[in-house]
Structure 1
Amino acid sequence: MPYPDKLLADDEEVVRHLHPHWLTVFRPVLVLLLVVGGVSFGAALVPPGPEQGMIRLGIVAAAALLLLVLVVVPLLRWRTTHYVVTTHRLLFREGILARRGRDLGLARITDVSYTQTLWERIVRSGTLTIETAGDGGPTVLRRIPDSDGVQQLLAFMIEEDADRRAQEHAGYLRSDDGRPPAEGWYPTAVL
């Protein structure tokens, strides 16, 4: 069962599954090209001699370490960061070896806002700020692709979730024959 399907309840569906914006991986890819080019050029400049092989091996080993830290780790971090909007919740998962995650029920979300710089507007990225009831502060998600669209989607999904919960609650209050119970039966908290 693929991620995030294994995290879903029976009546829950994925509406949108996102990773951070593609510009997050632009710098690591640029570093990869520069390091490969620099190593090739540097290895070609090593003068012939008995130590030529060892010097080239040292250059390649240093480049491999550099690529691991500056390219592989950021790419893995991007690939293992998930923002998932479902019909019931908003899920965040991140981490390569150690994982960190958070689930926010749509019913608990009180406000969703986004901000974009001029550059982020051009590349269709932004920052989402999600406020929830009873929490210690807002949840801030940076480098979200199509942040304004995701903000609108979350607002829509929150309304849909509220409607679904109201229908479930109304169904719970109905009698076995499908009719509403007699007048005065409703608890005062529902009225």
Structure 2
Amino acid sequence: MALPQKLLSKDEIVVRHMRTHPKVLLWRIIVLLALLIAGVVVSVLLPDASWRTGAVIALWAVILVALLPAFFVPWLRWMTTTYTVTSKRVITRAGIINKTGHDLPLSRISDVQQERTITDRLFRCGSLSLQTSADEPLVLVDVPDVEMVQVEISNLLFHDVEGAINADPDD
């Protein structure tokens, strides 16, 4: 879900709205698939007995309870964490129940740095550090297509809104 228009000033343009890279869910998806496969295998291999139906229901109840903290909570956290770059600021929003947000005006940014580990390079993402004059950087982790976002923010810092919007030739 994009940032609502009512949260933007009248001449502010959304350059990029994104979530953290889905790689943060990769291990969770593997756990989800492993639990589902294990549940199916155990359900099929249980002997035909009077207690079989109750055991299958109990098994799937345990699997569903295990999936809540293993997959659904991290998925909700991923869904509710967004980064938005506009023509005037960088906006972060996060939180499932308790919402947190940070708005950093572009005029306060003095340096834009990116960091990409080897796995980040495989997934074409990385961390973006927006340095301010207060020496308290805003760090955006697992930014998809981090190099392009860095170019867009740099263009905005040089007051090139059109260059920031058209920075990605694939869009």
TM-score in same-fold range (> 0.5)? yes
User: Would the aligned equivalents of 1:106 and 1:161 in 2 still touch at CA under 8 Å?
Assistant: no
Unaligned runs of 5+ in 1: 163-191
User: Would the aligned equivalents of 2:2 and 2:17 in 1 still touch at CA under 8 Å?
Assistant: no
Structure of greater relative contact order (alpha carbons < 8 Å, 6+ residues apart): 2
Give the residue type in structure 1 aligned to 2:151. Q
How many percent of aligned residue pairs carry the same amino acid? 35
Give matches, 1:157-172, under 5 Å.
157-160=156-159
Q: Structure 1 residue 119: deviation in Å? A: 2.5
Residues 141-171 of structure 1 show CA distances to partners (whole Å, capped at 9, x for unaligned) of 1111111211111111111179xxxxxxxxx
RMSD: 1.9
Give matches, 1:5-24, under 5 Å.
5-24=5-24
Partner of 1:150: 149
Within 2, Cα distance between the matches of 1:145 and 1:7?
23
The alignment of Structure 1 onto Structure 2 pairs a total of residues equal to 161
TM-score normalised to the size of structure 1?
Answer: 0.78
Q: Structure 1 residue 140: deviation in Å? A: 1.4
List structure 1 runs of 4+ shifted beyond 4 angstroms.
Answer: none
User: Would the aligned equivalents of 1:19 and 1:81 in 2 still touch at CA under 8 Å?
Assistant: yes
Task: From the superposition, tell whether residues 150 and 2 of structure 1 become closer, same or farther in structure 2 (CA, over 3 Å).
Answer: closer
Q: Structure 1 residue 2: deviation in Å? A: 5.5
Partner of 2:91: 91
Larger radius of gyration: 1
Unaligned runs of 5+ in 2: 162-171
User: Would the aligned equivalents of 1:14 and 1:85 in 2 still touch at CA under 8 Å?
Assistant: yes
TM-score normalised to the size of structure 2?
Answer: 0.86
